[in-house]
Each structure stands twice: as C-alpha cells, then as structure tokens.
Amino acid sequence: SQKIEQNSEALNIQEGKTATLTCNYTNYSPAYLQWYRQDPGRGPVFLLLIRENEKEKRKERLKVTFDTTLKQSLFHITASQPADSATYLCALDLMNYGGSQGNLIFGKGTKLSVKP
C-alpha cells in the first residue's frame, strides 16, 4: 500500500541545537515534496518545496533534502529557537501521476518542542 510516514510523532530538543525531521514514503514517485508548519488551532503554513531533481533547498535557518532513491526527505532547522516549536508536516505532490495540482498527500506531522 502507499504510505507516507514522518518518523517521530514528537521531537524535543534544546535551544540552539539543530532539529532534524524525517519524511519517508513508499510506492510513490512524487514530482515535488513540500514542508508546512502548523501551530495549534491554525492552518498549515507553507515553508519549502523541493523538486525531484533537486538534492537540497535552503531558506534562512531551514534546509530540506530529497533523496528519491531512499524515498526520503530530511527537514533541518539550525540554531533552533523556542519560537520554532510547532508541528511540521511533509506533503507529496503527485502531479506526474495526473493528479490535480495541489492535491497533496500529507504525513501525520512531527510535533517539535524547543526548550530554552
């Protein structure tokens, strides 16, 4: 069956450290992979998108990698801060399967807590 998994339900780290979140998938060949941030009681907010032919994408303290051989994406937050505490969702875009653009497959999310 087709699955998308975010390895940890929760991740606790100390302020200043690098947080690394993992997203694995099986039986998909996504054209894009996206990461979103969701705060409690709010809608997700788009952070980064990486294409299947890109290995790495950076934005300020955020870095995403995409390994289509391993079927895995890693999401890193460097120099983490308590304000980074939130749930982070990965999502696959199966455009190349003829799906509707924007019809994303979401993981369950990883709840990150950064302690001061």
Identified binder of other proteins from the candidate list 12, 18, 81, 101, rule CB under 8 A: 101
Among 25, 32, 75, 88, binds other proteins (CB under 8 A): 32
Token pair of 79, please?
């120099």
Q: Taking the complex as a whole, how short is the minimal distance between the CB of residue 80 and other proteins, in angstroms?
A: 23
Sites for other proteins among residues 49-78 (CB under 8 A) = 49
Instruction: Determine the longest span between alpha carbons in the chain, in angstroms.
Output: 46
Q: How far apart are the first and last CA of the chain?
A: 41
Nearer to other proteins, 43 or 116 (CB): 43
- The rounded distance, in Å, linking the Cα atoms of 71 and 73 is 7
In angstroms, the Cα distances linking 82 to 7, 13, 98 are 21, 10, 40
Binding interface with other proteins (CB under 8 A): 4, 9, 32, 34, 36, 41-46, 49, 89, 91, 93, 95, 100-109
